[in-house]
Structure 1
Amino acid sequence: MAGAGLRLSVAVWAVTRVVLLLCVFRVWVLPGSDVSVDIEVIYQGWYGVLRTGTFPYDDVTWQYPPAAALAVLAPALLPFLEYAPAFFVVCFLADAVVLALLLYAVRGGRRSAKGVWVWVVGVPLLGPIVYARYDVMVTAVAVAGLLAVARRTRAAGALMAFGALLKVWPVLLLVGTPRGRSTRSAWSTALVTAVTLGLLFAVTMPGALAFLTFQRDRGTEVESLGSLVFHLGRHFGWHGHARLNYGSVEFLGPYVRTVSRLALGLSVLAFGWLLVWRLRARRFADHTPYDAAFAAVLLFTTTSRVISPQYVVWLIGLAAVCMTMRTTRQGLPIALVLVAASLTQLEFPLWFSHVVASDKLGVATLTLRNGLLVVATLISCARLWRETVREEEPAELSPAPPVPDPGSPPRAPVLKRRTG
């Protein structure tokens, strides 16, 4: 029965992925913004610069760690295709790698096939943006690293470090490694890998650290949690506007810098909470590294100044890993994230013009999506804390029966008359 379910999941994956490919290849054109434009213009421009052996350090839209160059250059592996089609195919292959990793993890029925279904269903809920950004490649590396935590901690640490050099967030996966030898092994390997690869990029390719400046100068993007202040403010006399800035559509005007700083402050508080959790956590079950990774990335996604649609693919990948464990406590937050994924496809690309215009449809959709992410974050963190930190209340002990005196005669049983 389980085998039939997995075969069905592979069939559903194949059908839904063909639909996504048809969308990015413009065989079937969705209404709203074209998700493929950035690949054909921005990514391909970076590709031309990176092939010369240098980073695009004079381009403010380059806001990624140095290993991101490998993702941008990956279409060169398919020289028989033009850049954009090759990029879509590479993303499709990364999607297939995630599916294969999950299928391998649940082989033999030792784990739950629900994890496979979360990935199979979650990606099409998010839409063709998954194949039009390199985040699915990062997610494949992160899923591989997280699944390796249980038995191959050094490999897990190396993969998480490599993922962090691709797009920073996979470093958060280290927060839930079990205490003791596993943590020392994973963290030390991650540190060595990150330093070694970082120095290699810095020495061989000029501009490897330019992304830090461009990230620092970013403002409040129109899809973030903080942007709701300005979406609503537009209806009450706030004089600002939304325009393309630092590679995404951001709000510009009064109080934007203040809200951006508040968002950074929330991210700092999130990091502080994770640190406190790590210091106080005492009970680490088999599923704890997965639950902690999901909660950590959910925290930083929700508090970010930029919640781009492709960020949700990170959460779907980590949710899938969590759901391979029958004992995970993240079921409800994961369900909320899947609903948020479908709303994300509505706000981009389908109704993005409404979001930019801050009209009622755009604001309502964005408020609901961000609200679901906030609720999912609070529930996820609360469940993680309750399971690993909070002390269990001792069970009530019933009084022990009296010990009979060896010298006393045995007592005759007392018979009670039944009435009624």
Structure 2
Amino acid sequence: MTPHRIAPLPSAHHLAPVLADNRPGTGPRLGPRHSFALALTWVATRFGMLALLVVDRLGDTGVAGEVHTLYRRWYEQLAHGAFPVDDVTWQYPPGAALVFLSPGPLPWLTYFEAFVALVLVSDAVITVALARAGVRGAWLWVCALPLLLNVPLARYDVPVTAVAVLALLAVRTRPRLGGALAGIGAMIKIWPLLAVLGTARGRTTRSAWLSAAAAAAVLFAALAIGFSHTLDFVRQQGARGVQIESLGGTALQLARHADWSGTVRYQYGAFEFIGPYVSSVATASLALTAVAFGWLVWWRMKARRWNPATPFDAAFAAVLLFTVTSRVISPQYMIWLLGLAAVCLTSRFTTQRPVALLMVPAAVLSALAYPLLYNDVLGGTVLGCVLMVLRNGLLLTAALLSCRRLWTATASR
């Protein structure tokens, strides 16, 4: 069973400037002693995460099951040249095939082993890129990702975050490369396209945005030629409800303690609420997402001052906004936010330092909610409700603070 041939990612030659960023505006760089300490910390923490994944006995024991069953099933379908059809769990853009097929060239490993190896390689790439750009960001990523326990190794979000991190680090001085990486990332998970949101007006923006559009179009065309049912994922997105870990889900969970009659059901690949007013909450979430998008457009129109960190800050603020207004806040969303927070900290010009640090307690609370105390979250116990109120309240605070600091630095008179 041989996977279909797909368009290659940018080569190591093209990515070299991203992994060797020592331009003005970046934060303090690592010396040899600190490089060794960072590498040792990475190895120790990742070994611990790997051990937790292999044992898989923390709280909810299904963390590794998503790779063993869901991802492998998708791989087998994709290897035959077709995207999953009428599969309510397939809700990803077609570029996600790049990640799910990538374990194929390692036939001496099981699919699970090859997938985890891919995640660890992507994690290492992020670490090296951040270390070359600024020591603070590298340390945040290396030390904060393990706070999510074994979840990052069993989800495809670390490779996606790697593409977004490389795009952001490249976009200021190599806008075509940064834009191309953002376009590829958008075809995998949509949100990496926000890497080009904060590019400086003029030639940089034109180069980055055109490259993003061209790369996305080329990759989509290649996938449409090589696979059938390329756009089937769109139909599955509209049916999503309100996941229990979202802000709307937290409100409904609290309503259960006030005699609301709704219940929780596993559907569309997640635990969601069903019952009175759920559709209204879902509609409100979509409306808030539209408002967030409108604010970002308004910010872009009003922004007049750019510094080397503005693309980092804008991407971080945008992902925070779309996270807190989403109908779904899965545990792996914290991987994106930690990656973007780390990129912000690579620059001494960033306005997001306090917001980036808020991601650390948010990651701790996320790990407590899933997988450690997930039964409490599912059951809507007092402890489960407190966890979700604290985690989501922290993310909402971070989003509002991030937007305020971005506006003040770039758009206010």
**TM-score of the aligned structures, taking structure 1 as reference length:** 0.90
Separation in structure 2 between the aligned mates of residue 191 and residue 122 of structure 1, nearest angstrom: 33
Partner of 2:40: 11
Separation in structure 2 between the aligned mates of residue 370 and residue 349 of structure 1, nearest angstrom: 16
The one of 69, 79, 86 aligned to 1:41: 69
2:357 partner amino acid: A
Secondary structure (helix, strand or coil) at the match of 1:220 reads coil
Separation in structure 2 between the aligned mates of residue 4 and residue 372 of structure 1, nearest angstrom: 35
Separation in structure 1 between the aligned mates of residue 385 and residue 200 of structure 2, nearest angstrom: 42
Separation in structure 1 between the aligned mates of residue 111 and residue 279 of structure 2, nearest angstrom: 37
The one of 167, 178, 201 aligned to 1:156: 178
Partner of 1:316: 338
Q: Given that residues 49 and 153 in structure 2 are in contact (C-alpha distance below 8 angstroms), is that contact kept between their aligned partners in structure 1?
A: yes
Separation in structure 1 between the aligned mates of residue 361 and residue 299 of structure 2, nearest angstrom: 27
Question: Residue 327 of structure 1: CA displacement?
Answer: 2.0
Separation in structure 1 between the aligned mates of residue 362 and residue 252 of structure 2, nearest angstrom: 21
Q: Which has the larger radius of gyration?
A: 1
Question: Residue 266 of structure 1: CA displacement?
Answer: 0.6
1:72-120 superposed Cα distances (whole Å, 9 cap, x missing partner)? 11111221111112111111111011011112223xxxxxx11111101
2:52 corresponds to 1:23: yes
Partner of 1:378: 400
Partner of 1:246: 268
Aligned pairs for 1:14-413 (under 5 A) are: 14-26=43-55, 29-106=57-134, 113-391=135-413
Partner of 1:398: none
Secondary structure (helix, strand or coil) at the match of 2:257 reads helix
1:266-311 superposed Cα distances (whole Å, 9 cap, x missing partner)? 1100000000000000000111111111111111111111000001
Query: Unaligned 5+ residue runs, structure 1?
Result: 107-112, 392-420
Question: Residue 23 of structure 1: CA displacement?
Answer: 1.4
1:7-57 superposed Cα distances (whole Å, 9 cap, x missing partner)? 21221111000011111122x632333210111111111111111000002
Question: Residue 5 of structure 1: CA displacement?
Answer: 2.4
Partner of 1:412: none
Partner of 1:418: none
1:354 partner amino acid: D
Separation in structure 1 between the aligned mates of residue 394 and residue 257 of structure 2, nearest angstrom: 23
1:242 partner amino acid: V
2:79 partner amino acid: R
Percent sequence identity is 47
Q: Given that residues 25 and 85 in structure 1 are in contact (C-alpha distance below 8 angstroms), is that contact kept between their aligned partners in structure 2?
A: no
Separation in structure 2 between the aligned mates of residue 230 and residue 297 of structure 1, nearest angstrom: 24
Separation in structure 1 between the aligned mates of residue 339 and residue 350 of structure 2, nearest angstrom: 15
1:238 partner amino acid: W
Q: Given that residues 239 and 254 in structure 1 are in contact (C-alpha distance below 8 angstroms), is that contact kept between their aligned partners in structure 2?
A: yes
Separation in structure 1 between the aligned mates of residue 52 and residue 259 of structure 2, nearest angstrom: 39
CA-based RMSD of the aligned residues comes to 1.1
1:102-155 superposed Cα distances (whole Å, 9 cap, x missing partner)? 12223xxxxxx1111110111001221101000000000000100001211100
Q: Given that residues 33 and 348 in structure 1 are in contact (C-alpha distance below 8 angstroms), is that contact kept between their aligned partners in structure 2?
A: no
Separation in structure 2 between the aligned mates of residue 276 and residue 24 of structure 1, nearest angstrom: 43
1:311-333 superposed Cα distances (whole Å, 9 cap, x missing partner)? 11001111111101112111111
Secondary structure (helix, strand or coil) at the match of 1:64 reads coil
Q: Given that residues 173 and 296 in structure 1 are in contact (C-alpha distance below 8 angstroms), is that contact kept between their aligned partners in structure 2?
A: no
Secondary structure (helix, strand or coil) at the match of 2:144 reads helix
Separation in structure 2 between the aligned mates of residue 228 and residue 103 of structure 1, nearest angstrom: 37
Structure 1 segments (4+ residues) deviating >4 Å? none
